[in-house]
Each structure stands twice: as C-alpha cells, then as structure tokens.
Amino acid sequence: MDTERASPRYSDIDLWEPSDILDAMIEGQMTAVAAVRAVLVQIERAARATEMRLRDGGRLIYVGAGTSGRLAVQDGAELVPTFNWPPDRLLLLIAGGKEALLRSTEGAEDETDQALRLVEQNRISSPDVVIAVAASGTTPFTLACLRGAKRRGALTVGIANNRETPILDEADCAIPLDTGPEPIAGSTRMKAGTAQRVTLNLLSSLVMIRLGRVHEGLMVDVQAINNKLMRRSEHILRRLTGRSGHDVADALRRADGSVKLAVLLLHGCSPEDAAKVLQRAGGRLRTALQHIGKYESRTQAAAPDLSTIAEELPTALGSESTGKVGR
C-alpha cells in the first residue's frame, strides 16, 4: 500500500537540514495537487451525478475515519454558511462520533456494525449521495457505510489514495488520488490529506455552482449569520444592482437576509413574486433575472404585472426539503 510504504528517499530525513526538509514537504504538497489534476474528469463525473441526485431532494452524506473523516466533515460543514445548503440535507458520519473530531479515537475505524447501524438509523437511500473518503481505501467503518448505502440505492462516491482498493472498486464514482508514499511513512495527514482536501473542495464547490448557488462568481446563497457575512451580503447586492447602501439594507431586511430574493426585490418584484420566480427558476438567479428582463422587454408600454411572471417560467428543476455529526 503506497500510502504506508516507507520511501528510501526519506530514510534519513531526520538528519537533513531544516530547509531541505521543508523543500521535500512542499514538493510533496505539489505532488498532491498534481494527483488531483490528473483525475479532474472523474471529479466532474462525480459532480454531475451528485447534482442530479440532489435536484431530486437528496442529502449529501460525508463518511470517513481519522484524518479523512475530519477532512470530510470540514468540507460538509462549510456548505451551510457558504452556500446556505439546508442542514437537514447534510449528514456527517465519522468513526467515533463527535469526539473523533478533536482527538484520535482508537478502534473506531474498525466498527463495521456501528457503521451499518448508522446507515439504517439515518435511512440512507436513493436519492442520497454518500461521499466516502479513506486514504487506504480499505477502512472498515468507511467501507461498511459505502456498501450499506449502495445496497439501499444511494449514489456512492469513493475517494482514496491507493488504487485497486475496495472503496474505489465498489463506489459508483471512483476518484483515485495517486499521491504515493509520504515523507513520514504512513502520515496521511500530509500528501494524502492535502489531495483529499482539494478534491472535496473542488467536488462540492462544482456541485453548488451547478445547483445555482453561485452567480457571477459571488456567493449569492451566503447565510448572513454574523456581522461579517451581513456586510458581505450587502457588498454582493451593491455589486449586482448598483443600488445604494440604504436600498440594499432595506431589500435584505424584506428578503429575510436572502441575497437572491433581495436582488429580485430591487428589480421591482414583491417578496411573494420574487419567491415564486426564484422557485420556478430552480434557484438560479441568472435564469430568474433573464425572465424578468424578457417580460419587461415585451411590455414596453406599461409596467409589468409581476404576479404573472412565475407562471411563465419553466417548472422547478428540484426542491429543497440539521447537518448533524453522527457516529
């Protein structure tokens, strides 16, 4: 197994000069990124499959143990504040439960019975998407979750750093990260961990973009849960609409903090019509704005009746129905 193999190149790394050690480790980080670049096709394939399941109301479920589990949980947890992903459509499963987020939990990664119980208790099924991450590709807890979820009809995405391992062989979408041996043998928090983190970031971000949660490179679904994010929401609105700070603040207030709805309000929609337009546009702000624009261009003689816009839009592509960490 490459991630566990000791490389002769690093056999005397403890005798090297600090600068040489750092050079070797940064080179390893670049190798990790190169390993991700080599599988962009597989990442795209997984993202497209994930998008289709989530449009049908499915959940995103992250599974892992140890370092891989903590990286998976981190990626999933960030989707709520960044993209306002519904917490009830997010499930984070790490071997050893919440305690394993802060310290190593010995033996938890071998608890296959617990893994299967979690699959049953959380009623994982189609159209859910399970993203299983393990450097070895053989971690019993993670593999049991993947197998159990797949039997129940969920889409499974496997991410591992060793080829021809069960997690990759049995996943619907396999993403192999060929990072090779670590400068410190078996320390997969290094190259393997970096490659996993980059892959998870690319995969989830592409899915969120495809689901319409990014507009003109901006986080238009950002959840304004603190002062910093409120300021960011106001900045996004000013940039998209060119309106004054007072108008922006008022629109955000009337839209209950939703940037997308606030944009539509600033284009003349009522709160009720804005919600209908956005729903019929499948959550895509660009689509909603395009239809408003077409409607206005067809009725130059009179102000548009915005209550009819929602009826003209295509049917919604999907609906959105507490991200929780489970053991």
Which residue numbers are catalytic? 78, 109
Question: Do the beta carbons of residue 204 and residue 74 sit within 8 Å?
Answer: no
DSSP per-residue codes, 164-226: S-HHHHHSSEEEE----S-SSTT-TTTHHHHHHHHHHHHHHHHHHHHTT--BTTB-TT----S
Four-point Cα dihedral 168, 170, 173, 175, nearest 10: 0
Say which residues have a Cβ less than 8 Å from residue 240's Cβ, sequence separation at least 6: 215, 216, 218, 220, 263
Say which residues have a Cβ less than 8 Å from residue 309's Cβ, sequence separation at least 6: 269, 273, 276, 277, 291, 292, 295
Question: Do the beta carbons of residue 90 and residue 121 sit within 8 Å?
Answer: no
Give residue 186's identity as a one-letter amino acid code: G
Integer CA distances (angstroms), 26 to 2, 20, 31, 187, in order: 19, 10, 9, 15
Distance between CA atoms of residues 94 and 72, nearest Å: 8
Chain-centre distance of CA 36, in angstroms? 16
Q: Which runs of E-coded beta strand occur in 36-110?
A: 60-64, 90-94
Distance between CA atoms of residues 225 and 76, nearest Å: 17
Would you tell me how many other CB atoms lie within 10 Å of the CB of residue 39? 20
- Sheet with 173-176, side-by-side order of all strands: 173-176, 155-160, 129-134, 60-64, 90-94, 324-326
In 84-163, alpha helices (H) = 112-121, 140-151
